[in-house]
Amino acid sequence: MMDVYEWLRKAIADPNLTPLRKLLRRRDLDPKLRSSVEAFIKHDEAFRPFMKWTQENTCTLSAVHQCNDIPILATTNQDRWRDGRRERQYGEIREIIEEIGCPLKRELAAKGFDEKDITLRIVLGLKLEPDGEVLDIFSTAAQLDYDPADRDRWAAEFEAARRGGCDRNGIWHPVLTLCGRTHGYFEENESPQFDREWRKKHDKWPPKYEVLLLDRVTVTLTGTPSRGHYLETLPAAARGEAAAVLAAGAQRPPVSAAAKGLTVSASFLDFTEGTDHPIRFERGSVLSGGRKSRAVERATGEYVEWELPHWQSPESYYRLYSTDGTMTCTATVEQATIDLSGDGMVGLYKVRVHRIAAPGAGDTWSEVTDASSPIVSKLAHFIAAFLVDHAPARHSAEIIFDFGGTAQ
């Protein structure tokens, strides 16, 4: 029989509530879990009519502008702002966004969507070279600007735009505009986001570059009708109950079950003098141009290195390499240090492994989801040696392989 966690995860992903109702028939179901499943079903049944109506009445419009490889400055911070380069660059991008976005906004306004009902998404397609791979980078900040005109004027503007961009008196009314803040298209600048997307896809950092090329700009506007409009479609007697359901929000009650995983513990006692552990820590000398610190299996020559992308990054990576330096496995982890004795020294390393990827067919990588896989136990031994094989330090490590997490 399928275990409860697998059943629960698949049932929640299914828009049909039948699998969840079948789950309630199981005699081995924890009472607390049974109660949360029942609350989930009740909330979903009450909220579903609104979700269905919203989906049917939502309107999404999109337009793409081909940019012919406009250079996006991604060199040093000093050069990026010299002589007003950044302001001119964002000015050019803003003109493109307004050119293709304003007609979309006029059309949505003419369909009856209010200012607060329209959301904007800007996506910039960036690449390293003219014939290179294009990666989509999402803008993290964008805003809509409106003239406080009434809906009839918006409709007149839309009709005027369709006739040629002006009204019968030959006057153009810029009622609806798109505005991007000067620094608002990215959290900081283009290159870090591009680098992160490249790493996600290729599991390595991109080669060094001086500029990025802007291949295209995509503007998408979505008009979503408000809850007030939905309540107006209901009979007066049903509005009170429906309003209470909507007030509870779209967030479904959490349904949780224990995650499948594996916990491995290790101590400095495993590596004391006289023990013949097959994997030992080797300290590198990066500052002098040498190799990084690593954990090495003496028999095979395989080794693991640790990588922290940035000191503020919540995630770090362990990479397993063969003797010739070929990467054979990568693990994404959250790692914390705990002072157990109050002396300001590390006593325990707590590592939670969220994802393990190994080479698949061709150039693809596949995700390891089975905690009983041999690569999981192998990786645990390497990580343990890397963390606690440090004489005379007295460290311990707890390595948790959490491939499931809590089902939500």
Strands 294-297 and 135-138: unpaired
57-80 pLDDT, tens per residue? Answer: 899 999 999 998 888 766 555 555
Is-cis flag, bond preceding 207, omega within 30? no
Is 185 a residue whose pLDDT tops 60?
no
* Span between the terminal Cα atoms of the chain, in Å: 22
Question: Nearest to residue 225, comparing CAs of 44, 53, 46, 106?
Answer: 53
In whole angstroms, give the CA distance from residue 145 to residue 165.
19
Of the pLDDT bands very low, low, confident and very high (cuts 50, 70, 90), residue 229 is confident
Provide the pLDDT for residue 387: 92
Neighbours of 63 (CB within 10 A): 16
In whole angstroms, give the CA distance from residue 295 to residue 306.
9
In whole angstroms, give the CA distance from residue 306 to residue 293.
8
359 strand-pairing partners: 365
Q: Which CATH number fits domain 261-402: 3.40.50, 3.40.630, 3.40.1580, 1.10.150?
A: 3.40.630
In whole angstroms, give the CA distance from residue 44 to residue 21.
12
The helix/strand/coil state of 220 is: strand
Could you give the angle at which helices 31-57 and 4-13 cross, rounded to 10 degrees?
Answer: 20
334 strand-pairing partners: 352
Task: Please provide the average confidence, as pLDDT, over all residues in the chain.
Answer: 75
In whole angstroms, give the CA distance from residue 31 to residue 361.
44
Question: Nearest to residue 8, comparing CAs of 400, 245, 28?
Answer: 28
1 strand-pairing partners: none
> Which of 138-147, 241-250, 390-399 is least confident?
138-147
**What does the CA dihedral 182, 188, 189, 192 come to, rounded to 10 degrees?**
-160
In whole angstroms, give the CA distance from residue 30 to residue 27.
9
> Which of 79-93, 101-115, 200-214, 328-342 is least confident?
79-93
Q: Are 380 and 397 in contact (CB under 8 A)?
A: no
For the record, the structure tokens of 351 come out as 């590592």
Range 151-159 average pLDDT:
60
Q: Where are the domains of the chain?
A: 4-56+231-247, 59-224, 261-402
100-114 pLDDT, tens per residue? Answer: 887 888 788 788 887
